[in-house]
Amino acid sequence: MKVTVSVFGRFHAFNLAEQLFKQDALNKLITSYPAFEVVKYGIPGDKVTSLPVCELINRGWNKVQPIMKNCCNAEYLIAEFYDRLASMRFDQVDIVTGWTFSFLHTLRKAKSMGAITIVERGSSHILSQMNILKEEYNTYGIKPRLAHPKLIEKELLEYKEADYISIPSSFVKRTFLDKNFPKEKLIHVPYGVNLDDFSQIPKEDNIFRIIHCGGINIRKGVHYLLQAFYELRLPDAELWIIGSMNKEMLPIFKKYDNGKVFHKGPYRQNKLYKYYSQGSVFVIMSIEEGLAMVQPQAMACGLPVICTTNSGGEDIIRHGKDGFIIPIRDVEALKDKILYLYKNPEICKAMGQSAKQRVSNGFTWEDYGTKMIEAYKQCLQNKTSTNNAQHNS
């Protein structure tokens, strides 16, 4: 079995490609990242086709003034440019998998060459995602930052034309099934964690510390965490928010500033364990997310996790054992769970150790790779069975 992976950017594609290479299943990784960045993930240079001009254009566009972005949305054109270049860069293989927005032309070329095509979708169904984000942003009177309409149209075509869609969580699966998407076309495998980069080190103080890591924006539900922490007014407690902050969050941070909220980072992935390990509990209140990879990272560092039903956490976190899963937007439920762990430090520590064991045995990137390869083998078996049935008929 030989697999080609195409990704505009990085996401978890490099982890997937690394695992495929380890099991002699990787034909090629096509990416907008330069090859010298890819080889850091253990993928040999001769297995990499780099299209760095796409990355340069994209990053350059992201730095232009907002007034220019209001006049012209280049997101679709850049993704389309990458897709068309990638579609001309692969050989005949068994499977071609690629990320949404930048895979339509590639998958069509792959299908014409007889390959099985698999779309990687890391978030909920695009229409479900757009609806919930519009609803949330409108609640706060903020102009939503949504995908270009042509990208949405393109992604829906990718869903329709691909043989399978790979998804990371039960939450994402529900959004596809709600849209009457065929269950048999979904490959459901949760993401993993690199235990070499994420491990627990001793905590240096006795402060009850809540950690959030990731994008600091409306989609991540950081505003609900800020509100809950502000209203709890816990003595000897801190909230560390790690990541890049969107401007939309500045007035919300100001509103809930009680002197105990600290904006940290962003930091490189291999440095995050130092900050996770100084926490008592990890909280992510995402209103929409496929599977936030910061959750298994925090668990590997010995933290219990409080997450929402829309974070993908339910596929890894056992409610009441490794943490808690609560409804989106439920500040009172969040306050209740934080207060419970605050008042019961021994239970908090025990849940953190349970979380650590949980991800160490079944949710590493090696585990993810094994599950994905088994899924790919099943796809090939299904194709063989279908071809045989058609031949016999």
**Structural domain boundaries of the chain?**
3-192+365-392, 208-360
Q: Is there a common fold for 3-192+365-392 and 208-360?
A: yes
Q: Under DSSP, is residue 186 helix (H, G, I), strand (E, B) or coil? A: strand
C-alpha span between 124 and 311 (Å, rounded): 10
Token pair recorded at residue 4: 């080609």
Nearest to 322 by CA among 290, 287, 288, 362: 362
pLDDT for residue 350? 98
Q: What is the pLDDT of residue 388?
A: 79
Q: Would you identify the CATH topology of the domain 208-360?
A: Rossmann fold (3.40.50)
Q: Which pLDDT value is given to residue 146?
A: 81
Query: Would you give the DSSP letter of residue 249?
Result: G
pLDDT of residue 391: 67
Instruction: Report the phi/psi class of residue 378: left, alpha or beta, with left for phi > 0 and alpha for psi in -120 to 50.
Output: alpha
pLDDT in tens, 161-218: 999 999 999 999 999 999 999 999 999 999 999 999 999 999 999 999 999 999 999 9
* DSSP helix/strand/coil, 61: helix
Please give the pLDDT value at position 385.
84
Distance, CA of 206 to CA of 279 (rounded, Å): 10
CA-wise closest residue to 309 among 178, 221, 181, 195: 221
Report the pLDDT value the prediction gives residue 70, as an integer from 0 to 100.
54
Q: How far apart are CA 354 and CA 259, in angstroms?
A: 32
The residue ranges of the chain whose pLDDT is under 50 are 67
User: At CA 295, angle to CA 344 and CA 158, rounded to 5?
Assistant: 150
Q: Are 144 and 134 in contact (CB under 8 A)?
A: yes
Look at residue 72 in the predicted model and tell me its pLDDT.
54
Per-residue burial over 101-139, b if 16 or more Cβ lie within 10 Å, else e, is bbbbbbbbbbeeeebbbbbbbbbbbbebbbebbeebbee
Report how far residue 253's alpha carbon sits from residue 233's, in angstroms, rounded to the nearest whole number. Answer: 16
29, 33, 35, 38 alpha-carbon torsion, rounded to 10°: -70
Task: Report the topology of domain 3-192+365-392.
Answer: Rossmann fold (3.40.50)
The pLDDT score that the predictor gives to residue 157 is 98
